[in-house]
Structure 1
Amino acid sequence: MIPRWQVRITIVGLSLVLAAGLSAAAKPDQQAVHTATMAPQAATASKYVYLTFDDGPHPQYTAQVLAILRKYGVRATFFELGRNAARYPYLTRRADLYGHSVQNHTWSHPDLRKVSWATFKSQVQSTDRTLRAQTGYTPRCLRPPYGATNSVVSRRAAALGKKVKLWSVDPRDWSRPGTSVIVRRVLASVRSGSVVLMHDGGGNRSQTVAALPTILRTLKARGYTFYPIWCT
């Protein structure tokens, strides 16, 4: 007969092993979760659009944009500057918490065509580390500042595990042409699969914030679904 104390030790040991296994299973890789649950969605809608916001996070405008997107049940993609995410990490966490995609827009907004390989790596990898600390995943998209790209930028991005992601609709909201102009430019240009460029940082973005509700309401009324970008 096996003594009771040995049986008890065996049972406790097995319990600890099982608990450890369950704990590991309960904490899957964040990137894998996002890839599995978000990336395929675009194929499920006949009309869809990707809203993207550059140069944040900003304590005023990003917070307002997030509130509006949440009100309308829309998910978007935020191409963040590492230095801004380091300064306002709670906004990066909030964007991720609300189901948005947070991606890499470099650390300090240089023209990537004009920097050395060492600077390129530093700009991208330092931003990766900052964003990963808040979201749990490493961005796979890279949006070069100014949309400035060439074969060297694309090759370097790929070497760092990134896909260059630009846009197809640019209302030039950064120039502050007026709320109604921003709305008109977006609505006149959007087609299914469009990637819309707007800004939540880098200056006064009050016109963008004011234009956003009308853009969302109108596109929803036209039957569009909104998806974030993950660059899987």
Structure 2
Amino acid sequence: MICSGNSAAARRARRAGAPLLAAVTLTVLAGCSTLTGVVSPAEAREGTKQDAERLQPVDCRTDKCVALTFDGGPSEPTPKLLDLLRREKVPATFFLQGKGHTDTYPDTVRRMADEGHEIANHTWSHEDLTALTPDQIRDETAPVQEDVRKITGHYPTLIRPPGGATNDRVSDVLKKLGLSQILWSVTAKDYRTTDTALIKKRVLAQTERDGIILLHERYAGTIPAVPDIITELRHRGYTFVTVPHLLAPATPQPGTVYRP
């Protein structure tokens, strides 16, 4: 269940210039609590006065940027994806799962970091965080933080709540852990199909400027779709960046929910 207030009305309100963060209250899907404040990449960038020198040669305030993200790894196929991204010179953001992943493929995590990808948290066992107590939320996130720190020397600063399920209680806990929440605007639902052509079609149909694309490299149809996705989006004038670069020169704020 995606409990992020991703309604057509909410999107229209943001595009129409609705007041930011504190003034925006979105009511999420049935069964979830109220979530206060969702920030788009454009809104995040508008909220900073920093100059753009450090963004050169890509400044997402003027360039058409898109972020390619992968959930639920690392896994056995991940090195094949890393080979592809290195060949295409595409940075990605990896939201890593713990159990059976960061504890099983540490060399792959190290390679991700060494090759310039953003390493982020996707919880230890993919539980719905909105169904957990604050202590349980910490228990789901802290082990991945520690795994990544031990492997790369750095704690992740981003998290993707499983299923996009979040609320104010989750946000409060993640703020204390120093984690910003990153949702998405494009999904191929590749966990439901092995049809590479369909995955490609879904991604290309949904992608717009500032898009955050959600894929899972461990499913058989996904990695074969990535080369054509990269080629076509570049043909359309898009530049691939990591999620932090998409938000820059703003810095993602702990606890805040970001979604195009």
The TM-score normalised by the length of structure 2 is 0.70
Partner SS state of residue 103, structure 2: helix
1:76 to 2:95 alignment: no
Alignment correspondent of 1:223: 237
- Tell me the secondary structure at the aligned position of residue 87 of structure 1: coil
Query: Pairwise mapping of residues 1-232 of structure 1 onto structure 2 (< 5 A)?
Result: 41-43=58-60, 46-59=63-76, 61-83=77-99, 84-176=101-193, 178-201=195-218, 205-230=219-244, 232=252
Equivalent residues, number: 193
Q: Which amino acid is 2:230 matched to?
A: L
Q: Please identify, of 38-47 and 154-163, the stretch whose mean Cα deviation from structure 2 is larger.
A: 38-47
Residue 7 (structure 1) aligns with: none
Give the unaligned 5+ runs of structure 2: 1-52, 245-250, 253-260
Supply the distance in 2 between the matched residues of 1:73 and 1:47 (Cα, whole angstroms).
Answer: 17
Pick closer, same or farther for the CA change 1:102–1:146 going to 2, 3 Å: same
- Which structure has the highest helix share of the two? 1
Amino acid at match of 2:221: Q
Q: Which residue in 2 is equivalent to 1:30?
A: none
* 2-structure distance, mates of 1:107, 1:126: 7
Q: Percent identity?
A: 37
Once residues 220 and 213 of structure 1 are traced to their aligned partners in structure 2, the CA distance between those partners, rounded to angstroms, is 11
Please identify runs of 4+ aligned residues in structure 1 that moved more than 6 A: 36-40
CA distance 1:39–1:64, change in 2 (3 Å): farther
Give 3-state SS (helix, strand or coil) of 2:212's partner. strand
Deviations 1:51-93, CA, capped at 9 Å, x for gaps: 000000002x211111111111100000001221111000100
Shift in alpha-carbon separation, 1:127–1:41, aligned structure 2, 3 A: farther
- From the superposition, tell whether residues 185 and 149 of structure 1 become closer, same or farther in structure 2 (CA, over 3 Å): same
Give the CA deviation at 1:221: 1.5
Larger gyration radius, structure 1 or structure 2: 1
Deviation, 1:43, is 2.8
Q: Deviations over 1:168-213 (max 9, x none)?
A: 1111111115111111111111111000000023xxx121011011
Structure 1 residues 41 and 85, CA gap change in structure 2 (3 angstroms):
farther
In structure 1, C-alpha distance between the alignment counterparts of 2:71 and 2:56, rounded to whole Å: 20
Aligned partner of residue 119 in structure 2, secondary structure: strand
Partners of 1:42 and 1:227 within 8 A in 2 = no
Tell me which moved more, 167-176 or 145-154: 145-154
Structure 1 residues 42 and 163, CA, compared in 2 at 3 Å: closer, same or farther? farther
Q: What is the Cα-based RMSD across aligned positions, in Å?
A: 2.0
Please tell me the residue identity of whatever aligns with 1:195: I
String of CA shifts for 1:112-163, please: whole Å, max 9, x gaps.
1111211211211111010111222111111111111112111211121111
Q: What amino acid does structure 1 have at the position aligned with 2:97?
A: L
Native 8 Å contact 1:49 1:194 kept in 2: yes
Question: What is the rounded CA distance, in whole Å, between the counterparts of 2:55 and 2:120 in structure 1?
Answer: 14
Q: 1:124 to 1:38 in 2, by over 3 A?
A: farther
Letter in 1 for 2:78: T
